[in-house]
Amino acid sequence: MDETISAAEANREFSRLLREVREGKSYVVTSHGRPVAKLVPIDADKSSREKAKQELLAELRTRPIVNVGPWTRDELYDD
């Protein structure tokens, strides 16, 4: 579970945060109470993106191919 930390506190404690992230901990950084960034170990970020990509590709493989015919430039840019 990600720990929440304010941007001001993250700024003051950045070296400590980096050490803890290196050890596997994750943080959500907030500004005025709203999440704005996430500090995660780089390997965790890569693996979660790869997992999401594989799940999306698996889902797309189950869907039928739909032939929508040729498009014109005007059809793509409806006003």
What pLDDT does residue 21 have?
94
Kindly list the strands in the beta sheet with 3-6, ordered across the sheet, starting from the edge strand earlier in the chain.
3-6, 27-31, 34-39
Per-residue pLDDT of the chain in tens (79 residues, 90 and over written 9): 789 999 999 999 999 999 999 999 999 999 999 999 999 988 766 777 888 899 999 999 999 988 888 888 888 786 6
Q: Which CATH number does the domain 3-46 belong to among 3.40.1130, 3.30.300, 3.40.1620, 1.10.150?
A: 3.40.1620
What's the confidence (pLDDT) of residue 45? 65
Please report the pLDDT score of residue 44 as a whole number: 65
Q: Measured between alpha carbons, how far apart are the two ends of the chain, in Å?
A: 45
The pLDDT score that the predictor gives to residue 77 is 81
Is residue 39 within 8 A of residue 63, CB to CB? The reply is: no
Contact 39, 26 (CB under 8 A): yes
